[in-house]
Amino acid sequence: METQELEKIASQVRRDIVRMVSAVSSGHPGGSLGCADFLTVLYFDKLKHDPANFKMDALNEDVFFLSNGHISPVWYSVLARSGYFPVSELATFRKLSSRLQGHPSTDHHLPGIRMASGSLGQGLSYALGAAETKKLNGDDSIVYSLHGDGELQEGQIWEAAIYGAAKKVDNVIATIDYNGRQIDGDLDDVMSLGNLSQKWQAFGWEVLEMDGHNIDEIKATIDKAKSMCGNGKPIVIVMKTEMGQGVDYMMGTHKWHGSAPNEEQLADALTQLEETLGDY
């Protein structure tokens, strides 16, 4: 898909995000906005999938797991906009009896979701498991996952990192949303990850780096990662992003990690984000 088209979709996704969280005065806009470009490229240009016919088993389809489940708004928007469920359903986010739970859930049977997430650190293990099953099934599709950088403080991530390299799970592409911020403040103040790329390299992973707000770079990096699959090593993309990207007052701070804009703030945000596909 043309870069300009993808940029238009990402702008609409950002509108969806701020409107969804503002409507219920809860949710996580910061990280959602930061991952809008990546997930738009992944779902609209790279993923081998069939949104109109969602199947849990994903045979001969690529699989995506959102490990940092709190950025559900961006995932729901991208899923709806790519055809998994009606866009109008975004209006039910975090409301009683909705399929769009605060954190992603399979319990409510929302097409596009294969595992609950929200309790952090588990998604890389999901990806490795699904990838091992693909190998057993002779299915050469790819398993993708997305993780927060703060989430990497969870020990389970590193259990999975050891497994992925030791067992040569080379059909997994994990991406880290490296925005350097978490709920309590800057990641380096809370608990620094040191040299993140070197950490993954030391754990035996192929490491790519990219700017998470440059659509062309995202496209090229995912293509490169795909071309590296099957070479005996799992792949991780360290993606530099800005929390709150696209809304000026949400950028440069951790304060919008888990806070929703009020009506006035929402109006301000919407003036900065072009409506390209029509609001839900």
List residues near other proteins by CB under 8 A.
56-59, 63, 65, 105-107, 114-119, 121-123, 125-134, 136-137, 139, 155-156, 159-160, 162-163, 166-167
In the complex, what is the shortest distance from the CB of residue 125 to other proteins, in angstroms, rounded to a whole number? 3
In the complex, what is the shortest distance from the CB of residue 93 to other proteins, in angstroms, rounded to a whole number? 19
Question: Measured from the CB atom, is 69 or 212 closer to other proteins?
Answer: 69
In the complex, what is the shortest distance from the CB of residue 206 to other proteins, in angstroms, rounded to a whole number? 20
Question: Measured from the CB atom, is 10 or 120 closer to other proteins?
Answer: 120
In the complex, what is the shortest distance from the CB of residue 195 to other proteins, in angstroms, rounded to a whole number? 23
Burial class (CB within 10 angstroms; exposed 0-12, middle 13-18, buried 19+) of 227: exposed
C-alpha 182/C-alpha 31 separation (Å) is 9
In the complex, what is the shortest distance from the CB of residue 4 to other proteins, in angstroms, rounded to a whole number? 35
For residue 61, count other CB atoms closer than 10 A to its CB.
Answer: 18
Contacts of 194 (CB under 8 A, 6+ apart): none
Query: 215-228 and 3-24 are packed helices; what angle lies between their axes, rounded to 10 degrees?
Result: 100
Question: Measured from the CB atom, is 10 or 161 closer to other proteins?
Answer: 161
Contact 72, 98 (CB under 8 A): no
How far CA 112 is from CA of 40, 84, 116, in Å, comes to: 14, 6, 11
For residue 95, count other CB atoms closer than 10 A to its CB.
Answer: 12
Question: Measured from the CB atom, is 11 or 105 closer to other proteins?
Answer: 105
Question: Measured from the CB atom, is 67 or 221 closer to other proteins?
Answer: 67
